[in-house]
Structure formats: C-alpha cells, structure tokens
C-alpha cells in the first residue's frame, strides 16, 4: 500500500510540473479571408425552354409463356325430340374431349358403358345420368372403339366412339 501512495505522489507531482512552464503559448495564426473574384453573370436570354424527351427501353428479356394447345372437342347433344345429334358412330383423334350435353327440358338422359374399356372412361358400368342443361366430359386418350348405350329411348340407342391415333 505504501508503494501505491509513492507512485501516486510521483505522478501528481509530474502533472503539476508539466503544466507550470515559464514560456507563453505561441499564438495561433488565423487565416485572413480573401475575397473571391467577382465573375459577372450573363443576362438571361429570351430563348424558350427546350423540352427533353427521355425514352426508356425495357431491355429485360422475358421468357415467353407457353400457350397451351387447345384440346379438340366433339359435342354430342340429346334433343327434346328424343334424338342424339350426331347419332351412331363418331370418329375422333386421340386426346379429343367428347362432351355429352342434355338439351331436353322434359327429362334427364343417360349414357351407359357397354364394356370395361368404355367404363374406364365413364367411371363405372352403371348409367351416368345427365340432367337438363347438364354435361359430361370425357377425354379419350387411347386409340380404340368404345361402345355405349344412350337412353331413355325405347329401345335404347347404341352408339360408338372410335378413337384414332
């Protein structure tokens, strides 16, 4: 502890002596401002203001969006006079959407798959009923012949979809 007091006393004495010098501090020189040269300004002219048109061109490259290929469609209509338009066999290309539409306001109509291959497209071997104004859509994607029965005709109508490659 005694050493600490000695060290502090020496530091204190050094600080006091450093601040007490007999020489006055040198004055700091202040710069004298100089006047900037006067530049005469030009008188405004009577010339009208000109418009500047800037055209910005978008240079980003856009990736073109693929336009989906429309699906070919064939429509089969049930009419109010109990006919099917077109009737009989219909020929379509693979990938065609066949739409059965009921336009008979008096009764619902139905389609019925005659075999397992056709039932795979209709969803079952049971009758698929189409109410007035309703439709059923099936996309035939595999070549082949698909037999079905339509009703409520007496006797029931026989029809076929032939899908070509």
**153's tokens:** 């005709």
pLDDT in tens, 90-110: 999 999 999 999 999 988 999
CA distance 144 to 121: 12
Sheet of strand 135-140: strand arrangement: 84-85, 73-78, 96-102, 135-140
The mean-pLDDT minimum among 26-35, 65-74, 116-125 falls in 26-35
Confidence at residue 28, expressed as pLDDT on a 0 to 100 scale: 63
**9's tokens:** 């006393």
pLDDT in tens, 120-157: 998 888 999 999 999 999 999 999 999 999 988 756 78
Question: What is the pLDDT confidence band of residue 162, given thresholds at 50, 70 and 90?
Answer: very high
Say whether pLDDT at 76 is over 90: yes
The CATH number of 73-164 is 2.60.40.420
Cα dist from 114 to 118, 146, 150, 161, whole Å: 7, 8, 10, 12
Say whether pLDDT at 18 is over 70: no
Sign of the C-alpha dihedral, residues 139, 141, 143, 144? negative
């Amino acid at each position: 502890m005694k050493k600490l007091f000695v060290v502090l006393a020496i530091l204190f004495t050094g600080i006091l002596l450093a601040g007490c010098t007999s020489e006055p501090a040198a004055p700091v020189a202040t710069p004298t401002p100089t006047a900037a040269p006067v530049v005469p300004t030009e008188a405004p002219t009577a010339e009208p203001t000109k418009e500047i048109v800037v055209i910005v061109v978008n240079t980003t490259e856009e990736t073109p969006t693929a336009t989906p290929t429309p699906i070919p469609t064939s429509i089969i209509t049930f009419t109010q006079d109990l006919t099917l338009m077109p009737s009989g066999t219909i020929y379509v290309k693979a990938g065609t959407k066949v739409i059965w539409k009921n336009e008979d306001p008096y009764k619902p109509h139905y389609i019925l798959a005659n075999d397992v291959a056709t039932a795979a497209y209709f969803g079952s071997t049971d009758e698929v009923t189409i109410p007035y104004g309703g439709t059923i859509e099936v996309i035939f994607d595999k070549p082949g012949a698909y037999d079905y029965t339509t009703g409520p005709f007496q006797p029931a109508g026989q029809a076929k979809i032939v899908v070509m490659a």
